[in-house]
Chains A and B, each alone.
Chain A
């Protein structure tokens, strides 16, 4: 009844959600990477003569109010979105996972209590509020978005890991490791962590997509990426006053966000379906 690596790969190929999600994600990640080498038009050059043009052969997605090519803007904007979300997930995992492991290892202790109450506290600050505070104090920048979203990710991962680790700590193999003289830190790294990686992959994908949404929202209200750094949220903010006569300016950046997030979510769901039964069967 066990899945080997091979059959896991086969199952992955059969999963429509996973494949569609991975394809969408790859398209946008690819666009971001390509933009470092080549974009259809230089987005730092203004071309007022060609401003607010609808989609055409020269500009497949049209131009904005400064005459910049929207396709190029979206490609470069993908860099901002992906970088912000990726670093934010990194912060969340980097701090949240050790905190969750520590809390589970010393369950019921003061450390556990402090970590969990701290988590509750952070949960009371939606990332937007954190961003508002940081911006109010230090001014707006893409870094704010990263910090705000990253801080909000910490309790997400800490809770997830603590919950999963608590049930793993009751397993006999942990007891066997203790009989072999291993301490809590060693057991957390050798026995607990490898058995929560599946969960982390799935949750990481979900937080990544939430991060992209949050970054777009923050940039839209001016708390995130600042001009001239292109970002999807800012493009939408710029398009808002022109939506009645230039709907393409709002349509394409919005679709870019929607499809990227959709791709990541589909991939997350597909990964969960793929990894979860194995997790349940393997560790019962």
Chain B
């Protein structure tokens, strides 16, 4: 088990290093000098140089890369070109909206998908199964930001149950804050829940066809008991893979959905930074998101080993 975890950890570290090189290289190819951009055309060579030093723009490619990565490891993400404030602070604030939103959506999606998928699989071919499959077919096809707009139209503009956008802030209390994240989370969760329910269903159906289910039935287990005691945990392995992948879709989706609801999260930050050509912010946010995705996939890998004893020894 330990060896398995270590092996995954090494591959995680390699992924992060390569990802950081790719991101760094992309930003490096951008023409132009951020210092000149920040100080305007009237700046003297001296002040420009001083600012470049301050931003870590002088030095060789390797030094700059080392400076960037070293800074991130210490929690120092550099200084925003436009706002002249530490990027870490800017990201920190926004993260408190984007991360809860993604987790909220993931929880919702799992809470909907598991029962729906299990129910549909246990009653294969029935009306329940057909309806679950029909609804999820629509859920997979609907663009989540459009669904979000429709929800705003219905629940915020017409019914006035929710605000059309904006974030109440955590200072206002957990409930109001969660309330302003509810519609965005539903919009994010619906397509993911549909995918997950379909995967759950087909994985369960595959497992129910395995020989060991027949063995369990021959022992005297009912269909229901065989499903809950033997099929479910075995069927979880592909489902875990999808949950891991979904996290990256949720992070990305959150960036878009924040736009619909005018939520001041990472997504808004990124788009503002792109239009202001504040590349250091873009670079840092992207790296952070990649880090989050890689970490979640690492957690999924560990979860595999918990579910499947065969992985613990194989390594």
Chain A interface (Cβ within 8 Å of chain B)?
117, 120-121, 123-129, 132-137, 209, 213, 216-217, 220-222, 233, 236, 239-240, 243-244, 247, 250, 253-254, 257-259, 261-262, 265-266, 269
Contacts and interface: CB of A to CB of B under 8 A. Distances in A.
B150 A236 contact: no
29 contacts: A121-B18, A124-B293, A124-B294, A125-B19, A129-B286, A132-B282, A133-B23, A133-B26, A134-B26, A136-B30, A136-B279, A137-B30, A137-B279, A216-B143, A220-B145, A220-B259, A221-B259, A236-B146, A243-B157, A250-B146, A250-B153, A254-B143, A254-B146, A254-B149, A259-B141, A261-B141, A261-B143, A265-B137, A266-B137
Nearest to A257: B143
Interface in B196-231: none
Contacts of A117: 11, 14-15
A128 B144 CA distance: 14
A221 B271 contact: yes
A125 B274 contact: no
B258 to A, nearest CB: 9
A262 B255 CA distance: 24
B23 A123 contact: no
A261 B19 CA distance: 31
Interface string B277-297: 101001000100110011001
Contact of A236 (B149, B255, B273, B274): B149
**Chain A contact residues: helix, strand, loop or mixed:** helix
The residue among B144, B149, B255 with the most chain A CB atoms within 10 A of its own CB is B149
Interface in B60-90: none
B145 A217 contact: yes
Given A136-B279, A258-B146, 12 more contacts: A117-B11, A120-B297, A125-B293, A126-B251, A132-B255, A133-B286, A137-B27, A137-B30, A217-B143, A220-B256, A250-B153, A258-B138
B32 to A, nearest CB: 11
B141 A129 contact: no
B105 interface: no
Contacts of B11: 117, 120
B245 interface: yes
Interface in B135-166: 137-138, 140-146, 149-150, 152-153, 157
B19 A244 contact: no
A256 B141 CA distance: 11
Contacts of B279: 136-137
Interface string B23-62: 1001101100000000000000000000000000000000
Nearest to A216: B143
Contacts of B177: none
Nearest to A263: B141
B148 to A, nearest CB: 10
A222 B271 contact: yes
B249 interface: yes
Contacts of A128: 252-253, 255-256
B274 A136 contact: yes
A126 B153 contact: no
B15 A250 contact: no
Nearest to B14: A117
Given A117-B11, A265-B141, A221 B256 contact: yes
B29 A137 contact: yes
B142 A258 contact: yes
B248 interface: yes
A225 to B, nearest CB: 15
B235 interface: no
Nearest to A133: B26
Nearest to B287: A129
A129 B152 contact: no
B149 A250 contact: yes
A216 B255 CA distance: 14
B270 interface: yes
Nearest to A264: B141
Nearest to B145: A220
Contacts of A261: 140-143
- What 4 A-B pairs have minimum CB-CB distances, sorted nearest first? A128-B252, A254-B146, A126-B252, A262-B141
Contacts of B157: 243-244
A244 B149 CA distance: 10
B282 A133 contact: yes
A126 B248 contact: yes
